[in-house]
């Protein structure tokens, strides 16, 4: 047995083992995986959690029934107790809790007067028209992938009896959103990969016209995907909403490399035996295939500089998958070609590639002028790209969670909080602190994206009102520090717990929670900037800062976008240095730049025109586009260099190079971009946008390689 056959057998065995491992993969979209690794911010947030507890909550919005009916309140109290019993729930605030704890489950009329007489409950537990109430469920999930899914499932079961009693029930909050993204990304990964597989194979069948050739390409691509997923599983990685596209991505990339070997073999097999054609095809494809794989992997490796672990994982395992595809396509693929005796077939794409080359070589300078114009126009559109993200937009517009967010945000409460921490030199019960806190609260509530600000001073007002007989006019701050301290000292256990959620034990650190009802990160960042400006203007003896899980996520994404754009430039330089070194020609390395940078520029322009924002998902498209677009160009330049070495003008060498690899370039691009475009059928927005953008980039890259490539190589020669 030759060494190639031994390696091929070993790859088959490894693929079988990897398939078993890949079958155990899970999906994990935990919020904790997406936050940045800034030590200062992480420390500050950890201290906040230690002082005040979790800032993650679920809003259970209830409507459709008369809220202050005795039977309705009894049902809500029963639901309150079921919610409190859910593992991972640390506290439930609701009108039902007030009815149970303050009124003993009696006197609905008194509860209605209490709830509607002051602004204490408005915007958080009760809507302005008193037709919607919210149960605010504070949760603290354990650090385990399925923790949020279990919590959401338990919460839904706890409130299910309310729906049977005529309530309209809606759940929103980061916990619910993460669970919905988990479920959708898991389902769509299973659905979109077969779609990409079938679509790419149908196109391959039309262009290659050999079921045996298709079988070789499919086997190589499938082995690459399984080996990569198996490697992820054995190293303890899980899929998430970004890496769920990795199987489809690796499938089409590995398919492209396989097609180049297959097309070279079929062309050579027209005049040579199977063994000779296979050997020569492998010899011809090894250098360009290796360079193409290396440069594509480098494009993905630029993602490992990101702060977000999921983005680093996509870059790392995409690069590793491509590295695995090299021995699969150069060793296993040829052995399968020999085994199946793949016949020679003249590709229908070859004639089109030859016509394209003849057209370009007649007017190379015109082609370059048009390309320059396209580049300038596209570059002018790039500043119009929005750098923003709305995680809710990842879900289909008709998804039940999306509808719940729209309804709840418009009627009663927000979905997450911006946490503002204030430190003072005197206790919070000192009247000197109150104007500062009230002023900051007023500035927060003035924001159009803030539904409610939870403040310890509002609790103090409510305590005074209760102590004086529940009159609306008594909802005011105490007259002195002594009165405030007496009110706090008189609290029972549940009241004391509420104070502890807002004020530390020494009374000198306070928490203001701004409940936000807008998912667009641009609006949220405007609130953050305004709050930081207000905190910078606090008087002496008082200082403050902002924190929170959502803030960390948003700022991590902003850092991700900026860092990836910077690393893209570095990756571009490294990739083309590798090309120049591999081809042993700095001139060819420089000539490879324009046709490979053009697709990146045009894709950014397409994002601006289509209104697709630059976010944690779409920022990867630039690196992927750069990595993919160089593949065909490398094969063209390799054959051009060989033809020049054999003799003849640059024009003749460019024409022969296109004749030899043009068909493979067309077939590769057609199969892979159709595979990507099939992802547009996904209901999961990140996968859909990713497939559209990368598929478009591949078409642009093919045009650049077939037209700009030969034009750049021959523009300095006189037209015959």
452 vs 410, residue with greater confidence: 452
- Give the residues across from 133 on adjacent strands: 62, 126
Count how many residues are written for the chain: 720
H-run or E-run covering 518: none
Cα(628)–Cα(630) distance, integer angstroms: 6
Which has the closest alpha carbon to 239: 231, 229, 249?
Answer: 229
> pLDDT by residue (tens digit) across 172-209?
998 898 888 878 777 766 677 787 778 777 777 776 77
Is the pLDDT assigned to residue 37 strictly greater than 70?
A: no
> pLDDT by residue (tens digit) across 517-560?
888 788 888 999 999 999 999 998 899 999 998 888 887 777 76
Reading the block at residue 378, the tokens are 């596209």
Going from N- to C-terminal start, the domains of the chain cover 3-30+179-393+554-714, 53-166
Half-sphere exposure of residue 76, counting CA atoms within 13 Å on the CB side?
A: 33
Q: Does domain 3-30+179-393+554-714 have CATH number 1.20.1640.10?
A: yes
Instruction: Give 349's pLDDT tier (boundaries 50, 70, 90).
Output: low
> pLDDT by residue (tens digit) across 604-641?
899 888 888 877 667 777 777 776 777 788 888 888 88
Cα(235)–Cα(512) distance, integer angstroms: 42
Q: Are 217 and 328 in contact (CB under 8 A)?
A: no
User: What are the backbone angles phi and psi of residue 478, rounded to the nearest 5°?
Assistant: -60, 165
| pLDDT of the residue at 348 | 60
Cα(14)–Cα(442) distance, integer angstroms: 63
Instruction: Give 691's pLDDT tier (boundaries 50, 70, 90).
Output: confident
Instruction: Give 302's pLDDT tier (boundaries 50, 70, 90).
Output: confident
Report CA 658 to chain centroid distance, whole Å: 38
Q: Is 402 helix (H, G, I), strand (E, B) or coil?
A: helix
| pLDDT of the residue at 720 | 47
Quickly list DSSP for 599-635. HHHHHHHHHHHHT----TTTHHHHHHHHHHHHHHHHH
Is the pLDDT assigned to residue 215 strictly greater than 70?
A: yes
Instruction: Give 217's pLDDT tier (boundaries 50, 70, 90).
Output: confident
Reading the block at residue 329, the tokens are 């396509």
Which has the closest alpha carbon to 459: 444, 440, 443, 437?
Answer: 437
> pLDDT by residue (tens digit) across 482-506?
999 999 998 887 788 888 999 998 9
Is the pLDDT assigned to residue 351 strictly greater than 80?
A: no
Q: Are 332 and 8 in contact (CB under 8 A)?
A: yes
Percent of the chain exceeding pLDDT 70 equals: 94
The torsion angle over the Cα atoms of residues 11, 12, 17 and 20, rounded to 10 degrees, is 130
211 vs 429, residue with greater confidence: 429
Query: Which DSSP state fits 129?
Result: T
Cα(269)–Cα(274) distance, integer angstroms: 6
Is the pLDDT assigned to residue 647 strictly greater than 60?
A: yes
User: What are the backbone angles phi and psi of residue 432, rounded to the nearest 5°?
Assistant: -65, -25
Is the pLDDT assigned to residue 389 strictly greater than 70?
A: no
Mean pLDDT of 589-608: 87
| pLDDT of the residue at 718 | 52
Q: pTM value?
A: 0.79
Mean pLDDT of 439-452: 93
| pLDDT of the residue at 642 | 85
Reading the block at residue 692, the tokens are 């559209």
- Give the residues across from 168 on adjacent strands: 63
Which has the closest alpha carbon to 48: 538, 525, 515, 513?
Answer: 513
């Amino acid at each position: 047995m030759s060494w190639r056959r031994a390696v091929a057998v070993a790859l088959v065995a490894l693929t079988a083992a990897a398939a078993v491992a890949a079958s155990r993969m899970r999906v994990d979209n935990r919020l904790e995986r997406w936050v940045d690794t800034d030590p200062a911010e992480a420390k500050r947030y950890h201290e906040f959690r230690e002082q005040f507890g979790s800032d993650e909550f679920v809003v259970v919005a209830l409507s459709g029934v008369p809220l202050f009916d005795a039977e309705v309140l009894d049902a809500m109290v029963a639901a309150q107790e079921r919610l409190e019993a859910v593992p991972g729930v640390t506290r439930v605030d609701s009108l039902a809790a007030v009815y149970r704890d303050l009124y003993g489950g009696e006197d609905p009329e008194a509860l209605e007067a209490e709830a509607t007489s002051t602004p204490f409950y408005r915007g958080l537990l009760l809507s302005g028209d008193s037709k919607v109430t919210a149960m605010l469920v504070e949760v603290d999930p354990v650090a385990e992938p399925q923790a949020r899914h279990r919590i959401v499932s338990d919460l839904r079961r706890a409130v299910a009896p309310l729906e049977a009693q005529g309530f309209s029930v809606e759940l929103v909050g980061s916990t619910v959103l993460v669970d919905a993204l988990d479920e959708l990304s898991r389902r769509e990964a299973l659905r979109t990969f077969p779609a990409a597989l079938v679509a790419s194979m149908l196109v391959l069948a039309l262009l290659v016209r050999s079921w045996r050739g298709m079988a070789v390409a499919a086997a190589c691509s499938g082995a690459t995907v399984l080996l990569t997923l198996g490697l992820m599983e054995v190293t303890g990685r899980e899929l998430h909403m970004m890496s769920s596209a990795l199987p489809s991505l690796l499938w089409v990339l590995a398919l492209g490399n396989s097609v180049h070997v297959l097309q070279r073999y079929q062309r050579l097999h027209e005049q040579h035996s199977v063994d000779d054609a296979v050997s020569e095809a492998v010899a011809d494809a090894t250098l360009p295939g290796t360079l193409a794989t290396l440069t594509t992997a480098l494009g993905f490796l630029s993602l490992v500089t990101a702060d977000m672990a999921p983005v680093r994982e996509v870059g790392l395992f995409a690069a590793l998958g491509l590295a695995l595809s090299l021995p699969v396509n150069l060793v296993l693929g040829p052995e399968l070609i020999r085994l199946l005796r793949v016949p020679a077939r003249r590709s229908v794409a070859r004639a089109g590639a030859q016509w394209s080359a003849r057209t370009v070589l007649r007017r190379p300078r015109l082609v370059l002028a048009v390309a320059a114009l396209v580049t300038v126009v596209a570059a002018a559109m790039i500043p119009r790209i929005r750098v923003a993200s709305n995680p809710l937009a990842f879900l289909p517009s008709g998804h039940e969670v999306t509808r719940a967010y729209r309804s709840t945000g418009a009627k009663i409460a927000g979905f997450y909080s911006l946490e503002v921490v204030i430190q003072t030199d005197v206790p919070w019960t000192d009247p000197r602190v109150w104007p500062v806190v009230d002023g900051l609260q007023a500035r927060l509530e003035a924001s159009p994206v803030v539904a409610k600000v939870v403040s310890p001073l509002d609790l103090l007002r409510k305590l005074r009102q209760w102590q004086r007989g529940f009159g609306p006019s008594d909802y005011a701050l105490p007259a002195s520090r002594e009165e405030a301290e007496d009110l706090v000292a008189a609290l029972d256990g549940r009241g004391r717990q509420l104070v502890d959620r807002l004020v530390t034990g020494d009374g000198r650190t306070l928490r203001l929670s701004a409940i936000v009802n807008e998912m667009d990160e641009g609006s949220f960042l405007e609130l953050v900037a305004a709050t930081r400006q207000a905190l910078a203007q606090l008087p002496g003896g008082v200082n403050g800062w902002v924190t929170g899980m959502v803030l960390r996520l948003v700022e991590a994404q902003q850092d991700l976008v900026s860092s990836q754009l910077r690393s893209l430039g570095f990756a571009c330089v490294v990739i083309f240095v590798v090309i120049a070194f591999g081809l042993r020609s700095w001139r060819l390395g420089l000539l490879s730049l324009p046709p490979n940078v053009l697709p990146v520029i045009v894709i950014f322009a397409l994002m601006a025109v289509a209104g697709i924002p630059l976010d944690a998902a779409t920022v990867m498209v630039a690196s992927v586009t750069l990595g993919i677009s160089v593949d065909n160009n490398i094969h063209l330049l390799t054959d051009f260099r060989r033809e020049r070495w054999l003799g003849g003008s640059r024009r003749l060498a460019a024409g022969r190079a296109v004749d030899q690899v043009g068909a493979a370039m067309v077939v590769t691009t057609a199969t892979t971009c159709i595979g990507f475009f099939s992802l547009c059928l996904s209901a999961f927005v990140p996968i859909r946008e990713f497939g559209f953008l990368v598929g478009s980039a591949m078409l642009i890259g093919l045009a650049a390689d077939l037209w700009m490539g030969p034009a750049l190589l021959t523009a300095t020669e006189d037209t015959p």
